Amino acid sequence: MTDLNELRSPLTFLRSRLKDIPHHELLATEEIWWKSEGVAISHAIDRPGTPWLRMFDRDGKRVDEILYPREYQTMLRRGYRSGVVWRALEEKSLLPTYALMYNISFYDPGICCPYTVSLGTAVPLAKYGSAELQARFLPQLLRQDDAVWQGATWMTEIKGGSDLGAAVETVARTAGDAWLLTGEKYFTSNANAELAVVAARPEGAAPGVRGLALFLVPCYRKNGELNYFIRRLKDKIATRSVPTGEVELRESEGYLLGGADTGIYLILEVLNLSRVANSVVSVALAQRAMTDALSYAESRVAFGKLILDHPLLRHQFENRTKTLRSAFALAWESVQLLNEVWMERAPYSERYHLFRLVAHLAKYWTAEFAVDTAKWAMEVHGGLGVLAEYGAERWLREAMILAIWEGTPHRQMLDGLEVMERKHAHKLLFRRLAELAPANEVQEMESEVEQHLKLPTREKEALAEPLFRKLAVFAAETLAVKSR
């Protein structure tokens, strides 16, 4: 019989899965705070704490100030102080960042959105920014106190985010030592950020993704005036405490990161950071939904006994716990691989392409698992599961965005096929899995992938999902072996 006790806290679960937990004492301290204070804050701001936009001050001057409950800032700033961003660059390792994200996401998955996009701003600045840009901006993003700046990653426009080559219409033109960006970003998470990395097309650049560049855009111009404008905040299904808006760039001052002809590589590197975070958050959310369901099942009596003691539900808990372990193994594999290659620049190594495939598999599978688990947890609660006052429905709301953010399942499948076809990343993956699984099982899975890649283009894409799902599950279950 599976021991369900590991579900009760994120740190307990991490102990059961990892031999070495980055900054174990820090995570333990954070968990104590969340249990004593953070949970109540998170619950209080989920609905009544939605931020709102004050566009003008009393004198009619445009200020575009986003207002929050004070409690939200208490919760948000604690993560920054703990090192969810600064530790990555100071310690030259992403492992503490993603371990912290797992710990925090168990209690409030939405708040990891600001942390993720702030990381996605700091890393390309540290890698590709000029010495002048780094001296001007990087220390602000890496502060260890409440004056820390936040970042944002703004790629998506009204035509969507998957086909950036066709969707990005924001134009950048040179103006001395800066660029001036004009356009509209339709889905801007963390809209109040002091800095954002923004996809735009330099004037005269080639069409498609090859003509895109990545720019650093501060909230204020050098003269102190607003550099971008928030048209409105969006009413969305989840992460309600995080401001997502529409931003207008009106000859906004920006600074080129990297080369004007290599922007797509930088953009994809930023997306990779977010996709891995998405996987970690998905697993933590699934664990939280299961934990709440377990707590209810241990107290609810039906037909003369606790509902947890009914064989069918007990079996569901045990099976889902096994899948949670596998999902975590796949997500953490993507973390470890990213940690090896995150400072690489194009042209990338074989190891980088292996990371890409694992990241696509992890992002796809863990997000699907989170949604399914949150739905199941609501069912465990019965009628109470649909009532906002009891909290079970929140995890489904939060999970729904994870399947879409930074690439829908379709995008993960298509990009996964691309890296297998062009870079043969699946061969590297099977070489890795051969260390853990029976040779015949690995050979059978590899043969199935190879046969699929030989299909005509239309059929290969149309039939991709069953294969991609099977490969994700196979990889997850195989990788889970090493942590048993």
**What is the CATH number for 108?**
1.10.540.10
Same domain, 416 and 436: yes
405 or 410, which is more confident? 410
Percent pLDDT > 90 in the chain is 89
Same domain, 181 and 282: no
Residue that is last in its domain, among 261, 277, 297: 261
Residue that is last in its domain, among 212, 227, 261: 261
What is the domain range of residue 460? 264-483
Instruction: For 354-403, give the DSSP string.
Output: HHHHHHHHHHHHHHHHHHHHHHHHHHHTGGGGG-GGGSHHHHHHHHHHHT
HSE-CB of 223 using CA atoms within 13 angstroms: 5
- Look up tokens 């429905």; give the residue: 393
**What CATH number did the domain enclosing 420 receive?**
1.20.140.10
Residue that is last in its domain, among 204, 237, 261: 261
pLDDT digits (tens, 9 = 90+) for 166-181: 889 999 999 988 999 9
pLDDT of residue 49: 73
pLDDT digits (tens, 9 = 90+) for 216-261: 999 999 999 999 999 999 988 877 888 999 999 999 999 999 999 8
Q: Do residues 277 and 101 lie in contact, with contact meaning Cβ atoms separated by under 8 Å?
A: yes
Same domain, 414 and 399: yes
pLDDT (mean) for 11-40 = 96
Asked if residue 64 belongs to a domain, the reply is yes
Domain count, the chain: 3
Asked if residue 146 belongs to a domain, the reply is no
Same domain, 380 and 316: yes
Same domain, 233 and 285: no
Asked if residue 147 belongs to a domain, the reply is no
Phi–psi pair at 389, nearest 5 degrees: -65, -20
> What residue spans of 193-302 are helical by DSSP H?
263-297
Residue 382 has pLDDT above 80, yes or no: yes
Tokens representing residue 101 in the block: 């994200």
pLDDT (mean) for 151-180 = 91
Residue 483 has pLDDT above 80, yes or no: no
Q: What is the C-alpha end-to-end distance of the chain, expressed in Å?
A: 15
- Look up tokens 């099982």; give the residue: 441
From residue 381, give the alpha-carbon distance in Å to each of 298, 312, 374, 390: 11, 15, 11, 9
Same domain, 137 and 174: no
**What CATH number did the domain enclosing 254 receive?**
2.40.110.20
From residue 293, give the alpha-carbon distance in Å to each of 5, 100, 375, 381, 420: 13, 24, 11, 7, 39
Nearest Cα to Cα of residue 22 among 77, 80, 103, 114: 103
Same domain, 400 and 273: yes
Same domain, 165 and 248: yes
Nearest Cα to Cα of residue 479 among 318, 308, 279, 236: 279
Length of the chain (residues):
484
Same domain, 191 and 202: yes
Write out the H or E segment, with its range, that includes residue 166: helix 164-167
Asked if residue 148 belongs to a domain, the reply is no
Give the per-residue SS3 of 207-225: CCHHHCEEEEEECECCCCC
